Amino acid sequence: MSAFYYRPIVQTDRNRPAGALVLAGGWSWFTHVERLSRDTKPEVVPAAAVPEAELRHFVSRRRLVCGLSMDAPRIMGILNATPDSFSDGGLHNSFDGAVKRGFEMAENGADIFDIGGESTRPGAAFVPSDEEIARTVPVIEALRAGGFDLPISIDTRKADVADAALSVGADMFNDVTAFTYDEASAGVAAKHGASACLMHAQGDPKTMQDDPQYDDVVLDVYDHLAARVAYAERAGIPRGQIVVDVGIGFGKTIEHNMQLIRGMSLFHGLGCVILLGVSRKRFIGVIGNAPEAADRAAGSIALGLEAVRQGVQILRVHDIKQTKQAINLWQATL
């Protein structure tokens, strides 16, 4: 790992200067970067100062994820088939309710459907694999049997749960532990040729918010994800099929979360599609004075649009219709 890290100073203005570089084949561009180090103060330098191998990761067009092009922002709709998730726990944990919600998400403009059977909220309890499979796999089977054609992501940290879901029509293995919880996970994703979302988390759901500590949260998370991407590649998952997620709220304080959002463009240096999941999270309620999770759509969308401005390709959200409208209006200004 280089002693230096490079964060593109991202812009979206339609008056793009000659020589500006397009970020990840998307809708934003940059001419300068912030050069970061653990030992020296940050400094702004021209993009030409970035080493060629690292610059290639910034400018390379991202490949298809679950068959979707990444040249426009994409929305991943969240369905927690659980009784205890922090926002929608208990709302869709019946079989019929979950299937109905999947089709509603498609109608509301979701691009990817993400289903999970184990809550990862702070303090959440462990769910056995057989119970997690029972909560999720029949829903996936029913959606596919009913003609549901959106890509489906299985949100789990367990290889056997992912294997069962991928076997009946899921397309992505979304692991909040970045394949650190179950040593069989990377092999399962590779076997199915699935896309993989690797998220950073410090600690497990029961303890992760007790007292999270970092030397430098942005650089620490970057290094961790770089190592996990390399691990996934060695297991046979091409980098073009890997999505990275900084794990907002997973072992982070409010300030950690905000530092990661401010520095989001750094993570394009991994050469992967970036996913951001902030929807309705507690820190939005604290900053935005919204104690109830259902009242946090506006704050979630505000942070989502800032991430999209920085080139983030996928937003994982509860409020699909509102987020879709916001993105459409944002794109109309470009």
Q: How many residues does the chain have?
A: 334
Check if 321 is active-site: no
Are 230 and 209 in contact, with CB atoms under 8 Å apart?
Answer: no
- 191 noted as active-site residue: no
Query: How far apart (Å, rounded) are the C-alpha atoms in residues 318 and 80?
Result: 10
Catalytic residue chosen out of the listed positions 281, 282, 296, 324: 281
**Whether the Cβ atoms of residue 255 and residue 295 lie closer than 8 Å to each other:** no
Active-site residue among 101, 135, 228, 316?
316
Query: Per the structure block, which two tokens stand in for 230?
Result: 């390399």
Q: Is the CB of residue 110 less than 8 Å from the CB of residue 153?
A: no
CA neighbor of 10 nearest in space, from 315, 267, 330, 248? 267
How many CB atoms sit inside 10 A of residue 71's CB?
13
Distance of CA 118 to the CA centre of its chain: 17
Q: How far is CA 288 from the centre of its chain?
A: 22
Exposed, middle or buried, 328 (CB in 10 Å: 0-12/13-18/19+)?
Answer: exposed
Q: Enumerate the active-site residues.
A: 281, 316
